[in-house]
Amino acid sequence: MNSSPAEGVLVGQAQAGSPRAFSQLVETHQQPVRAFLRRLTGNWAEADDLAQETFVTAWERLAYFDRNRDLRLWLFGIAYRKSMTARRSLLRRMRRDAFSLEGQASASDPALVDARLDLARAMAELPREQRAAVALCLAADFSHAEAAEALDIPLGTVKSHVSRGRAKLLALMGGAHE
């Protein structure tokens, strides 16, 4: 999905230094970015922090953004790279401190919480790049081409990640493979 003409105008205004225009862009893209990061990390608090970092970085680098590109893809690419950096940092800390983290569950309908936890556990079983492709294509409604651009990996790799990831999720969650 390409950026709309109105979004292009907002990008131009934000590149010219308008915090109001950038705020409108954040309002448009914040929830999808947070949802992607929540699926990718399995941790809501971490995902919210990473989403905030994503938009801070986007503001800092907006002057270099090519308006011929899709803003959404650019933002999701930043979010993915932020999550990879955070993951590497966490692994270094864990090795250094021998510290382990536990996920958090949200309070709502117990059956829904159980289903979300099952899905989060199943997603955690997927390799990171595969998990990112699945989260973008199956949960965030990205096309395979859009996910390939956002993740900076070949289109064929995204397609195989989504196919294998979906099959593994269905197997892990006890569903029949279609």
As a whole number of angstroms, the distance between CA 62 and CA 17 comes to 9
As a whole number of angstroms, the distance between CA 142 and CA 75 comes to 13
Question: Is the pTM higher than 0.85?
Answer: no
Amino acid residing at 177: H
Question: Around Cβ 174, how many Cβ atoms within 10 Å?
Answer: 8
As a whole number of angstroms, the distance between CA 107 and CA 1 comes to 34
The domain made up of 105-178 has a fold known as: Arc Repressor Mutant, subunit A (1.10.10)
Domain ranges (residues) in the chain: 1-102, 105-178
pLDDT tens, 78-105?
999 999 998 888 766 665 544 333 344 4
Q: Across all residues in the chain, what is the average pLDDT? A: 85
The percent of residues above 90 in pLDDT, for the chain, comes to 64
**Residue 108 CB contacts under 8 Å (≥ 6 apart), including other chains:** none
pLDDT tens, 17-74?
999 999 999 999 999 999 999 999 989 999 999 999 999 999 999 999 999 899 999 9
Kindly list the distances between the CA atom of residue 59 and the CA atoms of 21, 129, 169, in Å, as whole numbers in the listed order.
11, 26, 36
The verdict on domain 1-102 having CATH code 3.40.50.10710 is: no
